[in-house]
Structure 1
Amino acid sequence: MAQTAGKLSLSEKISYGFGDLASNFVWGMTTSYLLYFYTNVYGLAATAIGTLFLITRILDAVIDPVIGVMIDKTNSRFGKARPFILFLTIPFAIFSVLTFITPDWSEGGKLIYAYLTYLILGILYSGVNLPYGALMPMMTKDPEEKNQLSSFRIMGMAMGAIAVSALTNPLVKWIGGGNDRLGFPVTMGIFTIIAIVMFYVVFLKCKERFTESAEKTKEFNTLTSAKHMFGNQPWVMIALNSLFMFLRIGVVFGVLVYFVQYVLGQPEMIPLYLTLANVANFAGGALAPVILRRLGKRNGSIVALTGAVLLYGVLFFLESSPPFLYLAIFFIANIGIGINSPANFSMLADTVDYHEWKFGHRSEGMLYSAYSFATKFGIAVGGSVVAYALGFAGYKPDAVTSQATDMIRILFYLGPIFLTILQIGCLVLYKLDKEHKQIVQDLDLRASSI
């Protein structure tokens, strides 16, 4: 195990944040706009899209453990995680554009094309983003450094999402000149060029310092590692917390465009709401190191998420209030949610140290791939719930009924409140915060005695 003591440089931390900045130029646009694109531009039925999202994400998520095993078994001159970023970034960029192309085929042909492109895009996203996530515990064991890396990651994620939210609609309209079938793929093409550059910055600047030796890599056993994974109780709690977090993201971002347009009756405000949701995430990421240092990752997250639940409840009573007040409460609620995101990534990295301490193997790839399965399943089900619910309520873009707007309202309020309460429950059962420092000391003592 190669070990390098000391703090990470600021440039390496910023470079690490570029990874999620790059991801969100692509995945942020997909998460925020693909449902709308499929229904209103490509002309697919909402219920068909719900099934598409669910099936493709589940199939895609099944691939994640395979990628995780590949990471754990990799021992190249570029390291364990970095080779995947190097070789899969370009294919990921290509399929992100293909997903937003609209061949003029039959209804069945369109659906097959959507299934293929969206499934392959998701697999390639895993192939790049999974190693990127697994890179953090390879870079440092210091909990404060992990907090800072997580904050840079969340700020990068938020900046990418902010850029996508603010720029997508104007670019689509400007490039397409009213032809969204042209505007969407060209806009995605612009975003992917930016993403490629940033992923290669991650590859060049972020170093793997804590990786298992070639001998231990050869000893890796997939079945044993999977069994150990479910014996890692802190990891189970963080994986469940992540499942509920991404379920909430899938529901909120899936329904937000419809909510602002049809419930608030402010379609011109859609870019602002999407942008502010991500600005709030950025603000939460920036505040997180201070709050988490003071309260701890677990307790800080519980406090922040509890505040978010209360504020979402307040929003229900403010629909007829001045738009500025509603927007301000929405923004503050999402800051609370944003504080939990870097804490979640940092706690996930801590579970890798716990895994090594308890079982003798780090298994970053397996742990991060199963975590990725939980997040993808969450986004898939969240997005599908929105699509199915809209279909059940009889949503049609050209004739929105009161039944449809009631369903949109239920999804927007009750969805995030219920799922955030489940997150809080998982965090209450997470006990690693107080034990982690001693675990790292034990691991260092073991390493020095070899």
Structure 2
Amino acid sequence: MNTSAQTITEAKGFYKLTWLQRIGFGSGDLAQNLIYQTVAQYLLIFYTNVYGLPAATAAVMFLIVRLIDVAWDPLVGAFVDKRNPKLGKYRSYLILGGIPLTGFAILCFWNGFSGSLVYAYITYVGLSMCYTLINVPYGALNASLTRDTDEITKLTSVRMFLANLGGLAVAYGIPILVKTFSPDGKINSPLSANAWFITMTLYAIVGLALLIFCYTQTKERVVMSEADTEHVRVSDLWNEFRHNKPLRVLAFFFITAFAMMAISNTAGSYYMIYNVQAPDMLPYFAALGSIPAFIFMPMVPAIKRQIGKKKMFYVFLSVAIVGMAMLYIISVVPALKEQVWIVLLAQFIKSTGVIVATGYMWALVPEVISYGEYTTGKRISGIVNALTGIFFKAGMALGGVVPGFVLALVHFDEKNAVSQTPLAQQGILWLVAVIPAMLLLLGMYIISKYELEDDVIDKINMEIEQRHRNQ
């Protein structure tokens, strides 16, 4: 492309990114997943089996922390939309929030105050608030890079590829490192406490380095003017939610998807230890929660072009349900459960569907931001990401609360590191297969209401740029 043609394209806001810029942006999600996935998959088992909290107590704490997020997220969204720090409107928080997040992540997995509920609350609330301080601006950063829908699809594919690389590093690496550092070779006993602290320290520091790299490779070019930011209010969150139907659809899909993922991921460790009774295979089972991303996420742009975004959701959500049905059937047939390779195959099929469907949903966020700008004249990326943040945190809350209460209901024995009663095993099976499958069916219905096909959103974006040129 010659210089004049490139200038015209950039003036319209439809920017093309280099591969280094795409990888740089995606590294921010990789960094966040080193912490988010550790919390989602292992914090409950750390609290119950290592730190010494009863399952019901931990469940209540997860709920309260998420309720705090409901109040905190919109404040962060309005704050970042109204301000223009010298380090960057959105990307500056990768540094400003990344440093305290690193500290709180490490402290969450420190057993110095073993059994202290107050310490657990302080560190977990601190971690959650700092995570929001990064995640909301990071989501807004996505929409500030370009309006180009094809570019957003590529950017999201790279982002999800790297996010799942982080998930793989957590799923496979965390159990291995904890077992290596633990004197008894277990991840779910009080003796493994120091191993958890060392492992989380390593992951958190690597995460901070990746956030810094993300900061250096991103450039914000589609943002509100400073004059417009003066009028941003927290109340814009409610107004946007009322008037932006695609945003409402996406928000409800977020809560369903994140609840499904959090419940399933949390139950995975319990499932392999107590149901399949193959704790040594846990790293492989957990790793298969991310490995399909490296096969299928690069194919997403081509798949979407062939069948459209809605059909892509339907296909891969159905694949995930098939995988969950297989896990259930395998677990109730003793002869099948002994064949661990079949368990791993079912996990691969389930994860393939989950990864593509929940990965691509992030590409819809810039679309609903543009739709809001089209209808209200305000490109409030921070507010919109705060709203989606509230819903995905609500999903995470369910992911923490539901497993804790189900385990309490089936009388899970947190002091037994080897076996559980048949009732407790049945509860774990519901958490790993049945409840997530029900949520996926609900998610399929919700996404059927999404109306922004590519031709519609392209027309909206072009009309927005035309308005800017006419001002």
> Could you say which TM-score interval applies, normalised by the shorter chain?
over 0.9
Superposition TM-score, scaled by structure 1 size: 0.95
Note the 1:251-262 alignment, pairs <5 A: 251-262=263-274
What is the rounded CA distance, in whole Å, between the counterparts of 2:181 and 2:154 in structure 1? 38
Which has the larger displacement, 301-310 or 93-102? 301-310
Deviations 1:149-175 (A, max 9, x none): 111111111101111122212222333
Select 1:183's aligned residue among 188, 195, 206: 195
Which has the larger displacement, 267-276 or 323-332? 323-332
Aligned to 1:17: 26
Select 2:377's aligned residue among 349, 360, 364: 360
Per-residue deviation, 1:3: 6.1
CA 1:61/1:284 → structure 2, altered by over 3 Å: closer, same or farther? farther
Q: Does 1:42 align with 2:42?
A: no
Which has the larger displacement, 88-97 or 5-14? 5-14
What is the rounded CA distance, in whole Å, between the counterparts of 1:4 and 1:305 in structure 2? 33
What is the rounded CA distance, in whole Å, between the counterparts of 1:135 and 1:184 in structure 2? 32
Q: Give the count of matched residue pairs.
A: 447
Per-residue deviation, 1:428: 0.4
Query: Is the 1:284–1:336 contact (alpha carbons within 8 Å) kept by the matching residues of 2?
Result: no
Aligned to 1:332: 349
Aligned to 1:84: 93
What is the rounded CA distance, in whole Å, between the counterparts of 1:45 and 1:210 in structure 2? 48
Which has the larger displacement, 218-227 or 58-67? 218-227
Deviations 1:206-262 (A, max 9, x none): 110100111111122332452133210001101110100000011101111111122
Select 1:166's aligned residue among 149, 169, 172: 172
CA 1:308/1:69 → structure 2, altered by over 3 Å: closer, same or farther? same
Provide the secondary structure at the position in 2 that maps to 1:155: helix
Aligned to 1:112: 118
CA 1:220/1:172 → structure 2, altered by over 3 Å: closer, same or farther? same
Q: Does 1:64 align with 2:70?
A: no
Q: Does 1:246 align with 2:258?
A: yes
What is the rounded CA distance, in whole Å, between the counterparts of 1:231 and 1:5 in structure 2? 26
Deviations 1:185-218 (A, max 9, x none): 1111111111111101111111101001111111
Per-residue deviation, 1:425: 0.8
What amino acid is the match of 1:30?
Answer: V
What is the rounded CA distance, in whole Å, between the counterparts of 1:47 and 1:67 in structure 2? 30
Query: Is the 1:42–1:102 contact (alpha carbons within 8 Å) kept by the matching residues of 2?
Result: yes
Identity %: 27
Note the 1:117-196 alignment, pairs <5 A: 117-178=123-184, 179-196=191-208
Aligned to 1:342: 359
Superposition TM-score, scaled by structure 2 size: 0.91
Gaps of 5+ in 2: 1-9, 185-190
Query: Is the 1:138–1:209 contact (alpha carbons within 8 Å) kept by the matching residues of 2?
Result: yes
Aligned to 2:423: 403
What is the rounded CA distance, in whole Å, between the counterparts of 1:104 and 1:220 in structure 2? 42
Query: Is the 1:154–1:282 contact (alpha carbons within 8 Å) kept by the matching residues of 2?
Result: no
Select 2:461's aligned residue among 415, 440, 446: 440
CA 1:257/1:224 → structure 2, altered by over 3 Å: closer, same or farther? closer
Query: Is the 2:265–2:432 contact (alpha carbons within 8 Å) kept by the matching residues of 1?
Result: no
What is the rounded CA distance, in whole Å, between the counterparts of 1:133 and 1:89 in structure 2? 15
Which has the larger displacement, 167-176 or 142-151? 167-176
What amino acid is the match of 1:404?
Answer: A
What is the rounded CA distance, in whole Å, between the counterparts of 1:177 and 1:261 in structure 2? 18
Query: Is the 1:154–1:341 contact (alpha carbons within 8 Å) kept by the matching residues of 2?
Result: no
Gaps of 5+ in 1: none
Query: Is the 2:56–2:405 contact (alpha carbons within 8 Å) kept by the matching residues of 1?
Result: yes
What is the rounded CA distance, in whole Å, between the counterparts of 1:417 and 1:306 in structure 2? 9
Aligned to 1:209: 221
What is the rounded CA distance, in whole Å, between the counterparts of 1:3 and 1:332 in structure 2? 41
Aligned to 1:51: 60
What is the rounded CA distance, in whole Å, between the counterparts of 2:269 and 2:206 in structure 1? 25
Query: Is the 1:21–1:156 contact (alpha carbons within 8 Å) kept by the matching residues of 2?
Result: yes
CA 1:128/1:224 → structure 2, altered by over 3 Å: closer, same or farther? closer
Aligned to 2:187: none
Per-residue deviation, 1:184: 0.7
Provide the secondary structure at the position in 2 that maps to 1:222: coil
Deviations 1:22-45 (A, max 9, x none): 111112111111111111111110
Select 1:424's aligned residue among 444, 450, 456: 444
Select 1:372's aligned residue among 379, 386, 389: 389
Select 1:97's aligned residue among 79, 92, 106: 106
Which has the larger displacement, 360-369 or 160-169? 160-169
What amino acid is the match of 2:192?
Answer: D
RMSD over aligned CA atoms reads 1.7
CA 1:368/1:2 → structure 2, altered by over 3 Å: closer, same or farther? farther
Query: Is the 2:249–2:447 contact (alpha carbons within 8 Å) kept by the matching residues of 1?
Result: yes
Per-residue deviation, 1:365: 0.6
Query: Is the 1:95–1:121 contact (alpha carbons within 8 Å) kept by the matching residues of 2?
Result: yes
